[in-house]
Structure 1
Amino acid sequence: MTASGALESAGERPLPSRRPIEPGTRMWDETGLITFSLTAGSAFLLQTMEPTISAVVDEYSTFRTDPMGRAMRSLASVMMWIYGGDEALAEADRLRQLHATLRTTGTDGVRHSALSSGPWAWVLHTGTFAFTESAKYFARRPLTAEDKEAYFQETLQLMGNFSVAPKEIPANYLEFEKFFADTVANHLIATDTARDYLRVIRSVAPPKQLPRALRPVWRVAVAPIGRLQHFVTVGTTPDIARQKLGLTWTPSDERKLRLLGRMIARIVPLLPERLRYFPIAYEARRLERDRQRLRKVIDMRPI
């Protein structure tokens, strides 16, 4: 069954009305963890293998010329989706408005639009995949089928906030797995954009504002991080996609990644919350606790 066929058979469902992601959800508790960046690489790689996204990214993205700036802006944006409160909806609207003008024509003459319903949904679908892959390697316990379904249901809120077309959304997580595997196998292609992305993350160029005299220091300091990000990105990318890109992944590599994952799974929970979470996520979580304390005091006030 093709990806589109899988979605058609599932039927369309109404999405939740637009509202911020709520505290207490799995998405709220885990998206902001620093381990998010490890599997975000495979999500973006899978995006750049989608023909329309690749064509648009190739023409408009600054990931080649300003990789650090682009990565920091993207990370901050994702944190806003989850932890921005009412501003999360404004961020989704900003991104839709920004992408509405991004159109290009490929070398084969095919026209591409960033807001085409399939590619627009694929961006968020790769996030669902990255979440489950992150848990597979970097969580203290594996996700159960119930965990995956519960998380998938949470993603419907995010898809509603981004005005994803209901026809692009599988009925449940089991259908999502089938749809995702079919898309990777039968729709994604090896693109120069994807190959360039792998090259860029392996050797991250210094920020433009960094003085020239400090750039050699940057390259030495960041080289291990780039190698780690490249290694994890390749390792958490589906094997079929790796084969399309001509990437090698050996049983030894898999063992190393799983060992790395076990180490990270033990270390990260021991870190102070300020270090476990990215800044926007940390501040949002702290603010929510303050609100809860205020609510408790208000409820206990003498009347």
Structure 2
Amino acid sequence: MTKAFASQGDLEEKKTSFTEIGPGLYAFTAEGDPNSGVIIGDDSVMVVEAQATPRLARKVIEHVREVTDKPITHLVLTHYHAVRVLGASAYGAQQIIMSDTARAMVAERGKEDWESEFQRFPRLFQGHEEIPGLTWPTTTFSEAMTVYLGNRRVDIMHLGRAHTAGDAVVWVPDAEVMFTGDIVEYHSACYCGDGHFSDWGETLDAIHAFDPVAIAPGRGDALQGREMVEAAIESTRDFVESTYRPVARVAARGGSLKEAFEACRAECDPKFSDYAIYEHCLPFNVSRAYDEARGIDTPRIWTAERDLEMWNALQG
């Protein structure tokens, strides 16, 4: 039986949670849907990840207002994907922050990504009529920048390529808490369709070196305590390596993309088939791994048309 394309068949509303992961630090999670983070400073608030639409962003704002009435002045977007950025207008933030590379990717492929993700995951784009257009940062950085929310220091850094070429993480040193975006996931498949498999492990090592006591991952439950943080980093590493390794072997012997897909399934299904969005991610992940294994360093741009062509070839 043909599988429903990507997440078009995922219509069930997810239960949201708002978990305190440090003093004045919160993770907004939604059973495998995209997470957001909240950092409360002395006089203002920073939100990490905007959500896909203003309607979804207002769910985050409702939770913020349960714990503080301070204004939301800063919005950090860890990368350019539509499900992370298109709700930005709801916050009215004074500064919208991305890495230089993430901004360049909005310019290069933001429109195509929006159309692609809208087709893949319609439930997340309910209320899309409110989206005013592509989200552009007001502030960018190359390697790192620091923001002070009053006396509270927040470090925003590019530690290396992983989920995308321009991934940012957000570190709150006084609490030893990190917001990692989609570099780290918990019981959710990593989406690797725009990823860099060969770099991802080193970027995870860089995160691990901070020895965080808690992490707000890109998807899945908030990670509280070093033991849970360690387990999530290692399961993310295992997912990425288990995806790339069998695909690279097939590519090295000149095998087809379909053969690579079957080899990846054989290795990953026993370990990860119950993860959120696993079936959605699998063909995109294999396609990107196959390209990288054949020397294509820059991920090819996904379009709505390319999505369907690939899906029908692999998951049809």
Q: TM-score, normalised by structure 1?
A: 0.27
Q: Which has the higher helix share?
A: 1
Of structures 1 and 2, the larger Rg is shown by: 1
Greater share of residues in strand: 2
Q: Highest relative contact order (Cα 8 Å, sep 6+), 1 or 2?
A: 1
